[in-house]
Amino acid sequence: MTEPFDNKKKVVVYDCGEAITFSTDEVLNVGQEVRLKGDNTVGARTATTQIPIGVVTVKSNTEDTNVVVNTGFSQVLNGVAGATLTAGTYVKQNGSFTNGLPQYVAAASGDIALGYTLIGGASGSVIRVGTLKSPKTI
């Protein structure tokens, strides 16, 4: 049995071709599914309605070790929020661009989502989107 990794106040490294750093205030266990919370932090997935972003892999339980989350995203892109978007939202492009970056909006029922917000923001701000390996019908 693997002991839980007490990473309170530590950093979670999100790995999908590049590292993105998130914080957490929860104790996460090896093999546990995690989700993005609306405040751009990572937490345990505790309900079936929460969208998992990956599974925790812990290298060791030392002071300077981060938690690595292995995901199913093919790449991470910068985009611009076409409306306020929180972390953990399925998104689609709205066809507009700001300073050469595509704008993203929340995918509604019946839409095909091509990404998922990793770092959300207010309308007009730069956000981070993980592109899905397979599009998802919402």
Domain boundary among 70, 97, 112: 70
pLDDT at position 92: 95
Residues 50 and 77 in one domain: no
In a domain, 2, yes or no: no
Alpha-carbon distance values, 40 to 112, 119, 134 (Å): 23, 6, 24
Q: How many domains does the chain have?
A: 2
In a domain, 3, yes or no: no
Q: Mean pLDDT over residues 80-106, rounded?
A: 93
Listed residue (131, 6, 118, 120) closest to 58, CA to CA: 6
Domain boundary among 51, 70, 89: 70
pLDDT at position 69: 64
CA 74 to chain centre: 13
Residues 83 and 105 in one domain: yes
pLDDT at position 94: 94
Residues 84 and 34 in one domain: no
Range of the structural domain that residue 107 is part of: 73-137
